[in-house]
């Protein structure tokens, strides 16, 4: 049986790169393609060492392969915190299992298509169709898996910590990641986060608070006059909407200094956003006080 090193290296670089790319997608990382390639190359180099030096049993041990995983994740993603490193490593293993499952499936379906030895999966085909179909199958599996995950997230009403800063005040609350929230500011096209008035009241100017306290948010003449007389006029705008139980409605919105979404290592700061003020409860059980667009996480 002949094994061509160039084919083996090429296959492993391609597969490792796709595994790392999938890991990045699941983790919502945006590493450079160079880092992903270098991580894939490290994995391919390990395979070549195993092939050329089969008597070095130490490289075939579980500990050695675990150390390789740590090296690949460090090269490709360089997570700053231990918790993020462990999470990225776990997702990397899940991605690897998905690709490995597809590779094994094709080996069993096509007995002349490759072999497995010392943890090395070697797939060959004169036209390269075996590897192509393996990758295509993984793509389909990932697509189905991703849709299921997104549906599950939607059903479970994923909650995210949200911090809003405006003027000298900040508030912290929980927001629901709402796939149906596609509101945008018509002037700047910035995404809109819908927030309950009672949750955000304390950081709003007094004149804006009076609009909602007196339930005048639908009186456009009063709103226009009050906002135009406010020193914060440039920060406020009117946002049309056709949801939240009302058609052709209008939200009063404002541009905050910034918002922070998430927590710990996954915290994300955003300035290009508008806060839309809603004068009703968004949650029946008070689990959240805002609706967050998925594009902001």
The number of helix segments (H) and strand segments (E) in the chain equals: 8, 11
Strand partners of residue 130 = none
266/260 Cα distance (integer angstroms): 10
Taking each helix axis from N to C end, the angle separating 82-109 and 129-156, rounded to the nearest 10 degrees, works out to 130
User: In whole angstroms, what separates CA 241 from the centre of its chain?
Assistant: 27
The partner residues of 191 in beta bridges, in order of sequence, read: 184
Contact 138, 146 (CB under 8 A): no
Catalytic status, residue 178: yes
Selecting among 6, 147, 178, 213, the annotated active-site residue is 178
Q: How many CA atoms lie within 13 A of 109 on its CB side?
A: 10
Long-range contacts, stretch 259-264, CB < 8 angstroms, 24+ apart: 259/162, 259/163, 259/164, 259/165, 259/193, 260/161, 260/162, 260/163, 261/160, 261/161, 261/162, 261/175, 261/292, 261/296, 261/297, 262/160, 262/161, 262/297, 263/161, 264/81, 264/83
SS3 for 165?
Answer: strand
Rounded distance between C-alpha atoms, residue 4 and residue 122, angstroms: 10
Q: What distance lies between CA 177 and its chain's CA centroid?
A: 12
Report, as residue numbers or ranges, the catalytic residues: 178
């Amino acid at each position: 049986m002949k094994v061509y090193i160039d084919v083996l290296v090429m296959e492993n670089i391609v597969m490792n790169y796709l595994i790392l790319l999938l890991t990045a997608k699941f983790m919502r990382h945006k590493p450079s393609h160079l880092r992903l390639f270098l991580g894939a190359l490290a994995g391919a180099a390990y395979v070549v060492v195993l092939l050329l030096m089969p008597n070095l049993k130490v490289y075939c041990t579980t500990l050695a392969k675990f150390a390789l995983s740590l090296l690949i994740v460090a090269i490709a993603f360089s997570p700053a915190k231990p918790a993020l490193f462990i999470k990225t490593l776990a997702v990397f293993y899940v991605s690897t299992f998905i690709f490995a499952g597809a590779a094994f499936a094709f080996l069993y379906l096509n007995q002349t298509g490759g072999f497995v030895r010392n943890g090395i999966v070697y797939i060959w085909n004169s036209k390269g169709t075996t590897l192509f179909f393996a990758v295509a199958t993984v793509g389909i599996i990932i697509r189905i898996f991703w849709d299921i995950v997104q549906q599950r997230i939607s059903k479970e009403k994923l909650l995210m910590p949200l911090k809003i800063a405006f003027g000298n005040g900040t508030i912290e609350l929980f927001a629901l990641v709402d796939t149906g929230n596609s509101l945008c500011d018509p002037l700047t096209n910035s995404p809109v986060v819908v927030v309950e008035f009672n949750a955000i009241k304390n950081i709003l100017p007094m004149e804006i608070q009076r609009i909602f306290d007196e339930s005048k948010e639908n009186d456009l003449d009063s709103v226009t006059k009050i906002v135009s007389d406010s020193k914060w006029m440039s920060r406020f705008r009117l946002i049309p909407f056709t949801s939240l139980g009302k058609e052709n409605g209008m939200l009063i919105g404002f541009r905050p200094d910034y918002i922070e979404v998430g927590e710990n290592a996954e915290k994300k700061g955003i300035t290009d956003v508008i806060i839309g003020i809603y004068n009703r409860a968004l949650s029946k059980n008070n689990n959240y006080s805002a609706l967050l667009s998925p594009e902001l996480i």
